[in-house]
C-alpha cells in the first residue's frame, strides 16, 4: 500500500478533508453553509479506488449494475475490467438455472483470486437465495440484497470511507464525471418482481415484490439518454407486462393513477431524439388489445418476445403456466393480424419432468406451425425450493440434450425463413458494429433480424434505412437506401 501511494505525508483522505474544511469554514464568509465542491490547485490529483464489475443474467441485472457504476464514478471511483486486479469487485449474480449458479460462484472466486485483499460485494438473485453459502463457503461478508440495490453505491462508498484497507488520497481536485458506457441501445428498467411462481422458476423467491417506476421518472431518464445520442431504448423488467404505475402522487402532472405498459409506451414515444422503443419479454396472457394498439406507433419495434415454454397442455399445466397451446397460438395470430412483419421470438424448456415423447412432439409441431423468427432453447434445470424439483418423471440428461438439439435445428430453420420473407422489403437497422475483416456494417432491424450491408463505421449508433436483398445463413444482406 505504501508503494501504491507516493508522498503519503502530504496527502489526506478526500472525505475527511472535505468534512474538516466544511466544518471549519461553514460559518464564515469563505464558504457557504451547504455542501460545496473543493477547488484544489490543478497540480494535485485524486487517486481513487478501482472497481471491477461482473454481471450475469438478465437485462435487469445489466441495468442495475450500470446504475451502480455511474454512481460510483460520480463519487470518483475508477472502473477497470473485471479480469484485472481491482480494489473493489461487484458481482451481480444470476440464479435462473444451475449453470447460472455455477457461473456466479466462479465469478466470485475469480474476484478473490485476482486480488485477495480486495473488498468483494455480491448481489443479485444467487446472493438473495444463497447468502449463507456465499458467507461461509466463499468468505464474502458484503452481500447486497436485490431490494437494497438502489443504495448499493452508498454502501460501497461507506465501506470505502471506513475500511482502512481501501484508501483514497487527495492530489487533485476536479470533480469526477461518470463516463457513459456507450452502447448502441440503452436498457431501461421500468418494473421489478414476479409473483407468478411457475413451478420450475426460482426467480419469484429472489424477486417476489412487484414494483413499477412512475412514468415521469422513466421519461426523465430516457430524455437524458436521448441527449447522449441513444436512438433505441429497451424497456425491461422481471415481468414487464405486469407494469402498473401509481402516478397519483405526481401532483399537477398529466398522469392519473394506475398507468399500465401501453400508457408508458405511448409516453416514451413522445420523447424527441428516441427513434426506436423495444420491449423485452412479455408473457402471453399480458398481450392485449391495448398493448398492440400502443405498438402501432412508428417508434415501437415490431418485435415481441413471448415465452412459450411448452407446446403441450399437460406440461403447461404442470409448469403452472396459465394458458393452453391453442390460446398461445391465438395470441400470436392476433399479434400478426395487427402488426405485419412482426418478429416473434420465444423461450422453450425441454426435458421438463413428465414430458413424454408425445408431449415433446406437440411442442415441436406447435413451434413449426407458428414459425418463430428466433427461439431460445433451455434444458430443464431443477431448482431447489420449486415444485418441479420434486416432481416424478425427471428426464435423463441425454434425452434433454437430444430434444434441445432438435428444437435448435427447428429454430434455425424458422429464423432463416423469417429473414427470407423480408427480401425485397425496406427496413430500418440500428448500426452496432463493423463486420470483422470487411467494409460491412452489422445491426438489427426493428423486427430483430441481424442484417449486414456496406457502410462506414461512423454510422454506428444511427438508425439507417436499408433494402434487404438476400439471406446468408441466418443473416439478412442489404443495401443502404
In the chain, the percentage of residues whose pLDDT exceeds 70 is 83
Neighbour-count burial for 276-308, b at 16+ CB within 10 Å, e otherwise: bbbbbbbbbebbeeebbebbeeebbbbbbbbbb
Let me know how long the chain is: 481
Burial class (CB in 10 A: 0-12, 13-18, 19+), 54: buried
Q: For 249-278, what is the mean pLDDT?
A: 84
Q: What is the Cα–Cα distance from 11 to 19, expressed in whole angstroms?
A: 15
Nearest Cα to 336, choosing from 370, 286, 299?
370
Give yes or no for residue 286 having a pLDDT over 90: yes
Model pLDDT, residue 47: 65
Q: Could you say which DSSP state residue 249 is in?
A: G
Domains of the chain, CATH where assigned: 8-170 (3.40.50.12160), 184-293 (3.30.750.210), 302-421 (3.30.750.200), 426-480 (2.40.50.140)
- Greatest mean pLDDT among 27-41, 47-61, 188-202: 188-202
Please provide the average confidence, as pLDDT, over all residues in the chain.
87
Q: What is the Cα–Cα distance from 42 to 31, expressed in whole angstroms?
A: 20
pLDDT digits (tens, 9 = 90+) for 21-40: 233 333 333 333 333 333 43
Give yes or no for residue 414 having a pLDDT over 60: yes
pLDDT digits (tens, 9 = 90+) for 376-410: 999 999 999 999 999 999 999 999 999 999 999 99
Confidence band, pLDDT 50/70/90 cuts, at residue 45: very low
Q: Cell 426523465, residue?
A: 220
Q: Cell 431490494, residue?
A: 147
Give the SS3 label for residue 159. helix
Model pLDDT, residue 180: 53
Model pLDDT, residue 247: 67
Confidence band, pLDDT 50/70/90 cuts, at residue 41: very low
Q: What is the Cα–Cα distance from 54 to 104, expressed in whole angstroms?
A: 9
167 φ/ψ angles, rounded to the nearest 5 degrees: -115, 150
- Alpha carbon 455 to its chain's center: 29
CA–CA–CA angle 152, 158, 162 (5° rounding): 150
Residue pair 188/221 in contact by the 8 Å Cβ criterion: yes
Model pLDDT, residue 37: 36
- Alpha carbon 153 to its chain's center: 18
Amino acid at each position: 500500500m505504501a508503494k501504491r501511494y507516493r508522498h503519503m505525508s502530504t496527502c489526506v483522505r478526500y472525505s475527511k478533508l472535505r468534512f474538516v474544511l466544511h466544518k471549519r469554514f461553514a460559518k464564515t464568509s469563505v464558504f457557504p453553509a451547504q455542501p460545496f465542491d473543493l477547488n484544489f490547485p490543478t497540480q494535485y490529483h485524486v487517486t481513487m479506488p478501482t472497481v471491477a464489475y461482473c454481471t450475469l443474467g438478465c437485462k435487469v441485472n445489466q441495468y442495475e449494475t450500470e446504475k451502480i457504476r455511474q454512481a460510483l464514478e460520480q463519487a470518483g471511483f475508477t472502473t477497470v475490467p473485471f479480469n484485472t486486479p481491482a480494489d473493489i469487485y461487484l458481482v451481480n449474480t444470476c440464479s435462473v438455472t444451475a449453470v447460472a449458479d455455477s457461473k456466479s460462484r466462479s465469478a466470485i472466486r475469480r474476484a478473490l483470486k485476482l486480488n485477495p485483499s480486495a473488498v468483494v460485494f455480491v448481489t443479485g438473485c444467487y446472493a438473495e437465495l444463497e447468502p449463507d453459502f456465499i458467507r461461509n463457503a466463499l468468505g464474502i461478508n458484503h452481500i447486497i440484497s436485490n431490494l437494497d440495490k438502489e443504495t448499493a453505491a452508498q454502501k460501497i462508498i461507506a465501506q470505502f470511507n471506513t475500511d482502512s484497507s481501501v484508501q483514497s488520497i487527495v492530489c487533485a481536485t476536479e470533480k469526477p464525471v461518470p463516463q457513459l458506457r456507450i452502447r448502441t441501445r440503452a436498457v431501461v428498467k421500468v418494473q421489478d418482481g414476479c409473483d407468478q411462481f411457475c413451478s420450475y422458476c426460482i426467480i419469484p423467491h429472489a424477486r417476489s415484490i412487484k414494483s413499477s417506476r412512475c412514468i415521469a421518472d422513466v421519461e426523465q431518464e430516457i430524455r437524458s439518454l436521448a441527449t447522449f445520442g441513444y436512438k433505441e431504448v429497451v424497456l425491461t423488467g422481471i415481468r414487464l407486462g405486469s407494469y402498473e404505475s401509481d402516478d397519483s402522487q405526481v401532483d399537477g402532472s398529466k398522469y392519473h393513477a394506475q398507468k399500465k405498459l401501453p400508457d408508458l409506451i405511448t409516453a416514451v414515444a413522445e420523447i424527441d431524439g428516441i427513434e426506436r422503443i423495444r420491449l423485452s419479454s412479455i408473457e402471453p396472457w399480458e398481450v392485449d388489445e391495448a398493448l398492440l394498439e400502443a405498438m402501432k406507433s412508428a417508434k415501437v419495434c415490431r418485435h415481441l418476445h413471448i415465452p412459450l415454454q411448452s407446446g403441450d397442455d399437460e406440461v403447461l399445466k404442470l409448469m403452472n403456466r396459465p394458458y393452453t397451446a391453442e390460446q398461445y397460438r391465438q395470441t400470436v395470430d392476433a399479434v400478426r393480424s395487427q402488426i405485419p412483419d412482426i418478429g416473434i421470438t420465444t423461450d422453450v424448456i425441454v426435458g421438463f419432468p413428465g414430458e413424454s415423447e408425445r408431449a415433446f412432439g406437440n411442442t415441436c409441431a406447435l413451434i413449426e406451425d407458428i414459425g418463430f423468427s428466433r427461439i431460445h432453447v433451455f434444458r430443464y434445470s431443477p431448482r431447489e425450493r420449486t415444485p418441479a424439483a420434486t416432481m416424478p418423471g425427471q428426464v435423463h440428461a441425454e434425452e434433454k440434450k437430444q430434444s434441445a438439439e432438435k428444437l435448435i435445428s427447428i429454430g434455425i430453420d424458422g429464423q432463416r425463413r423469417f429473414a427470407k420473407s423480408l427480401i425485397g422489403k425496406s427496413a430500418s437497422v440500428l448500426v452496432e458494429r463493423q463486420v470483422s475483416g470487411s467494409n460491412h456494417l452489422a445491426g438489427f432491424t426493428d423486427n430483430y433480424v441481424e442484417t449486414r450491408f456496406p457502410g462506414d463505421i461512423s454510422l454506428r449508433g444511427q438508425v439507417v434505412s436499408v433494402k434487404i436483398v438476400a439471406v446468408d445463413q441466418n443473416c439478412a444482406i442489404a443495401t443502404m437506401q
